[in-house]
Amino acid sequence: MEHDNTLSDKELIENILKGNKKHLEILIKRYNDFVFNVSYKMLWNIEDAKDISQEILITFITKLDSFKFNSSFKTWLYRIAVNHTLNYLKSKNRNKEFSFEQYGNNLDNTPDFLLKPNAHNQVENKILYEEVKQTCMSGMLMCLNNKSRMVFVIGEILGFNDKIGSEILEVSPENFRMMLSRAKKDLYSFMNNKCGLINKQNPCRCSKKTKSFIEAGYVNPKNLLFYPKHKTFISETALEKQEEMEEHLYSEYRKLYKKHTFLSNKKFAEELNKILTSREVKTLFNLN
């Protein structure tokens, strides 16, 4: 099994198409968390992200025999994930739920409180502050329209360059750079005007909003989303490094998003079984 994990995507796919169930499991596990994180950043709902991730994985399995290795497998898979997620948002009429102005007003109207030390005995306050920070920043992403948000997730958070990003989104590299630049400008302008993590003159602080976020149900101290026992940051999994010439302009903003937790689907073992036993997969492969 350890040797199997070192096989290339191409080798795994060739064996899968011959009916190798073990190699199908390896390929799914290899990319599940990446698909899951893209889904969550686009949807801001953990249960929806799980459902969409499962649909994306089933879709890629059923289309696997059409993959011709003309591009990298991960580019091909991300293209499927992008199209599936954007189509889902369109079908659910979730093209634009709120604006930066509305989100800013919501933050302004969220009462400030100082959380008492050990207010939630099972969790340190600093952990709760981090949970609020990542929750709030995930909400900021939702103020971008769907296409801009997807470009931002691919290009800025996951770090794909314009060549790969343009292939995933099926646009020109120039168009990809233009959309990414616009998304960063809009999002980071909002953060500069509202977020105390970026501009110390801004009054909004994660520590002051924590009590209100907990009371509103955005953060659950008994079920933390961004602070698992074994935590990986997006910066440790990003596939490409950002261009150095941009560092001076957006480095502080980028660091905040790169320090977001790379989510892991804790119950994926159960979902993997659902995928492998789904009607679509069973009718496509004679898995051994």
What percentage of the chain has pLDDT greater than the value 70? 84
Q: How far apart are alpha carbons 16 and 13 in whole angstroms?
A: 5
Same domain (yes/no): 126, 35: no
Same domain (yes/no): 122, 252: yes
Per DSSP, helices labelled H in the chain are 2-5, 9-16, 21-43, 46-62, 73-91, 100-109, 125-141, 146-152, 162-169, 173-194, 206-216, 247-258, 268-276, 279-284
Same domain (yes/no): 167, 270: no
Structure tokens that stand for 180 in this block: 């990414």
Same domain (yes/no): 84, 123: no
3-state class (DSSP) for residue 233: strand
User: Burial code of 257-275, b = ≥16 C-beta within 10 A, e = fewer?
Assistant: bbebbbbebeebeebbeeb
Which residues on adjacent β-strands are paired with residue 233? 261
Residue range 89-127, pLDDT digits in tens: 988 766 556 799 999 999 999 999 988 888 887 788 999
Q: How far apart are alpha carbons 162 and 62 in whole angstroms?
A: 28
Same domain (yes/no): 103, 239: yes
User: Domain residues for 106?
Assistant: 98-221+227-262
Residue range 217-261, pLDDT digits in tens: 999 998 888 876 545 666 666 654 444 444 455 777 778 887 777
User: Burial code of 110-134, b = ≥16 C-beta within 10 A, e = fewer?
Assistant: beeeebeeeebeebebeebbbbbbb
